[in-house]
């Protein structure tokens, strides 16, 4: 008997929303690593004031794509520009559904002329593999799933990210000198003794840094070298609580709902995708509720990926995405929540908040947008939210209200008066951090 598909799950539940709606679920944090090493406050502070190390070896799926049709395949299923994609360069992967909305994203690294590695949640990787199979492309795939699905096996690759104002000094100490000149989101080959791996110029919180990626057999030795050398620079190991908050600071929405659940043309794809994967298990919850799953979809333009979109080739969703370019109604912003209102809403002074709730953002009593992630940031003294809101309310300094709480979901009217607490919030730019917004991508 075959494993159930996403379409099976939708059919049994009665609708995509009924399948995915889970009231007040636990928020995702990276598997395997400890919740805290020095305490989440100190770990957040480290990437701003000194240097931090994040172990990313366990929570991402990596798919290697190799073959003479690799570039042709990727170009057919995504909006990226492959005419300007150098070997050793990485890009935010932008796969688009036929309606022009995002399937999900990922990090795509070009390893060689006909070889790429796609990393992140497996939804984008499923999209690529399905279309390779259906289109008869001459490619091969090797997938190393995240540790949540790997069982007892070790990862294929280690991935250590060091970032912060002292990251450069730490790197020079470890490698005996600075990294070779490397553009943002490009990588270079590095060596530590007889160990050979790569350094990608990248950092999740928008601070200076590198991501070191190499064979798992060198994982322990490389980590020990970084940790030992880092003592003199105040290096702090980042735990599972603090790590997801880095994406909020950098302005990356990590959990867009894949635009795959209703289009009849994607029925076969939903039969291909497993039910017990990200597409069938990533929960929806919060104060914003709709019976229509399409109300949860996002455009690549809303997510800030417009600069990465290229119409110099044909790809799935091209015409819909092109048509939507001049009619995008929402903007990505950071919301700074009023700490007194938040304490009243929670019934306590929050120690640590981390949630991917889709909470209503209101202007007056009217819906103005929705949140995607809300986290405590110690240096602000409150909780920040990443949100998509209507353009007319997106000007920095605008006052809005976040409805904090959980809609019961299916069976309760989306507009039901639930007497959920309101939290005042102020609109700020994305990324929230000034360095991330103005300096991070220089020399890209």
Residue 382 in domain: yes
Given a cut of 60, is residue 440 above it in pLDDT?
Answer: no
Mean pLDDT of 78-95: 97
Helix and strand totals (H; E) in the chain: 14, 18
Given a cut of 70, is residue 438 above it in pLDDT?
Answer: no
Kindly report, residue by residue over 347-364, the tens digit of the pLDDT: 887 889 999 999 999 999
Q: What is the CATH number of the domain that holds 416?
A: 2.40.30.110
Query: Distances in Å between the alpha carbon of 149 and those of 115, 277, 306, 437?
Result: 24, 9, 33, 35
- 114: confidence class by pLDDT, cuts 50, 70, 90: very high
Q: Is the dihedral of CA 19, 21, 22, 23 positive or negative?
A: negative
Check if the beta carbon of residue 339 is closer than 8 Å to that of residue 382.
Answer: yes
What is residue 26's predicted lDDT score, i.e. its pLDDT? 94
Q: What is the CATH number of the domain that holds 209?
A: 3.30.1360.120
Kindly report, residue by residue over 306-356, the tens digit of the pLDDT: 999 999 999 999 999 999 999 999 999 999 999 999 999 998 878 899 999
Q: Following DSSP, what letter does each residue of 294-333 receive, concatenated? A: GGG---TTTTT-GGG---SS--TTHHHHHHHTT---EEEE
Mean pLDDT of 66-76: 98
Residue 213 in domain: yes
Q: 431 — phi, psi (to 5°)? A: -65, 155
> Number of C-alpha atoms within 13 angstroms, CB side, residue 14?
5
Check if the beta carbon of residue 432 is closer than 8 Å to that of residue 251.
Answer: yes
Residue 304 in domain: no
Structure tokens at 126: 């499923």
What is residue 433's predicted lDDT score, i.e. its pLDDT? 72
3-state secondary structure of 263: coil
What is residue 143's predicted lDDT score, i.e. its pLDDT? 97
Domain that holds residue 380: 330-434
Same domain, 232 and 372: no
What is residue 166's predicted lDDT score, i.e. its pLDDT? 95
Above pLDDT 70, what percent of the chain?
A: 96
Check if the beta carbon of residue 199 is closer than 8 Å to that of residue 212.
Answer: yes
Q: Quote the number of domains for the chain.
A: 2
Which residues face 334 on adjacent strands?
Answer: 386, 428
User: Which is nearest to 237 in space by CA: 29, 61, 50?
Assistant: 50
Mean pLDDT of 166-186: 93
Question: Which of 215, 240, 265 is a domain's end point?
Answer: 240
What is residue 351's predicted lDDT score, i.e. its pLDDT? 87
Q: What is the mean pLDDT of the chain?
A: 95
Q: Which residues contact 124 (CB under 8 A, 6 or more apart)?
A: 93, 95, 103, 104, 105, 106, 118
Measured distance CA(301)–CA(306) in Å, rounded: 5
Residue 289 in domain: no
Same domain, 234 and 340: no
pTM listed for this prediction? 0.95
Kindly report, residue by residue over 212-270, the tens digit of the pLDDT: 999 999 999 999 999 999 999 999 999 999 999 999 999 999 989 999 999 999 999 99
What is residue 350's predicted lDDT score, i.e. its pLDDT? 80
Order of strands across the sheet that contains 187-192? 187-192, 195-201, 209-215, 157-163, 52-55, 236-237
* Cis? peptide before 131, omega within 30° of 0: no
Residue 430 in domain: yes
- State the CB neighbour count (10 A cutoff) for residue 277: 19
Given a cut of 60, is residue 17 above it in pLDDT?
Answer: yes
Structure tokens at 1: 């008997």
Given a cut of 60, is residue 204 above it in pLDDT?
Answer: no
Q: Following DSSP, what letter does each residue of 163-200 receive, concatenated? A: ESTTHHHHHHHHHTSPPPP--TTBEEEEEETTEEEEEE
What is residue 272's predicted lDDT score, i.e. its pLDDT? 98
- Give the rounded distance of the alpha carbon of 278 from its chain centre: 13
- Give the rounded distance of the alpha carbon of 110 from its chain centre: 19
163 versus 440: which is more confidently predicted?
Answer: 163
Residue 232 in domain: yes
Residue 171 in domain: yes
* Torsion, CA 201, CA 204, CA 207, CA 213, rounded to 10: -30
Same domain, 191 and 55: yes
Mean pLDDT of 65-72: 98
Residue 103 in domain: no
Given a cut of 80, is residue 79 above it in pLDDT?
Answer: yes
Same domain, 52 and 166: yes
Q: 363 — phi, psi (to 5°)? A: -115, 110
What is residue 345's predicted lDDT score, i.e. its pLDDT? 94
- State the CB neighbour count (10 A cutoff) for residue 8: 16
User: Which is nearest to 178 in space by CA: 190, 194, 187?
Assistant: 190
Measured distance CA(30)–CA(148) in Å, rounded: 9
69 versus 436: which is more confidently predicted?
Answer: 69
Given a cut of 60, is residue 135 above it in pLDDT?
Answer: yes
Q: 167 — phi, psi (to 5°)? A: -60, -40
Question: Which of 216, 240, 264 is a domain's end point?
Answer: 240
Given a cut of 70, is residue 203 above it in pLDDT?
Answer: no
Check if the beta carbon of residue 398 is closer than 8 Å to that of residue 354.
Answer: no
* Torsion, CA 76, CA 81, CA 82, CA 87, rounded to 10: -140
Structure tokens at 440: 């991070």
Question: Which of 181, 207, 240 is a domain's end point?
Answer: 240
Same domain, 187 and 50: yes
Given a cut of 80, is residue 404 above it in pLDDT?
Answer: yes
């Amino acid at each position: 008997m075959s494993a159930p598909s996403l379409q099976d799950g939708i059919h049994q539940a009665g609708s995509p929303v009924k399948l995915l709606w889970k009231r007040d679920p636990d928020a995702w944090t990276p598997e395997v690593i400890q919740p805290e090493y020095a305490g989440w406050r100190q770990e957040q502070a480290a990437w701003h004031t000194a240097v931090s190390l994040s172990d990313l070896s366990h929570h991402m799926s990596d798919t290697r794509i190799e073959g003479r049709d690799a570039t042709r395949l990727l170009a057919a299923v995504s909006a990226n520009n492959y005419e300007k994609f150098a070997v050793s360069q990485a890009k935010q992967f932008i796969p688009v559904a036929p309606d022009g909305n995002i399937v999900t994203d990922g990090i795509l690294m070009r390893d060689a002329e006909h070889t790429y590695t796609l990393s992140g949640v497996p939804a984008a990787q499923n999209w690529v593999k399905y279309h390779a199979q259906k289109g008869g492309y001459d490619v091969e795939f090797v997938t190393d799933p995240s540790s949540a699905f790997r069982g007892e096996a070790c990862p294929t690759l280690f991935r250590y990210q060091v970032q912060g104002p002292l990251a450069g000094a730490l790197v020079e100490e470890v490698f005996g000198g600075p990294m070779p000149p490397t553009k943002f989101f490009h990588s270079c080959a590095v060596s530590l003794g007889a160990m050979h791996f790569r350094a990608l110029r990248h950092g999740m919180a928008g601070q200076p840094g590198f991501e070191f990626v190499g064979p798992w057999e060198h994982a322990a030795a490389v980590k020990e070298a970084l940790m030992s050398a880092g003592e003199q620079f105040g290096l702090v190991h980042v735990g599972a609580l603090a790590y997801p908050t880095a994406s909020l600071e950098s302005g990356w929405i990590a959990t867009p709902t894949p635009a795959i659940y209703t289009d009849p043309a994607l029925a076969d794809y939903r039969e291909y995708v497993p039910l017990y994967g990200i597409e069938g298990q990533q929960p929806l919850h919060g104060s914003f509720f709709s019976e229509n799953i399409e109300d949860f979809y996002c455009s690549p333009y809303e997510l800030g990926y417009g600069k990465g979109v290229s119409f110099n080739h044909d790809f799935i969703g091209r015409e819909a995405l092109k048509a939507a370019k001049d009619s995008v109604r929402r903007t990505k912003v950071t919301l700074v929540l009023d700490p007194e209102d938040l304490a009243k809403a929670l019934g306590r002074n929050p120690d640590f908040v981390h949630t991917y709730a889709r909470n209503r953002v209101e202007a007056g009593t009217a819906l103005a947008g929705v949140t995607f992630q809300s986290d405590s940031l110690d240096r602000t003294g409150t909780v920040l939210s990443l949100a998509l809101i209507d353009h007319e309310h997106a000007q920095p300094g605008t006052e809005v209200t976040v409805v904090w709480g959980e809609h019961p979901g299916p069976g309760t009217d989306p507009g039901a008066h639930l007497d959920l607490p309101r939290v005042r919030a102020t609109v700020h730019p994305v990324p929230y951090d000034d360095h991330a917004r103005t300096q991070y991508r220089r020399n890209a």
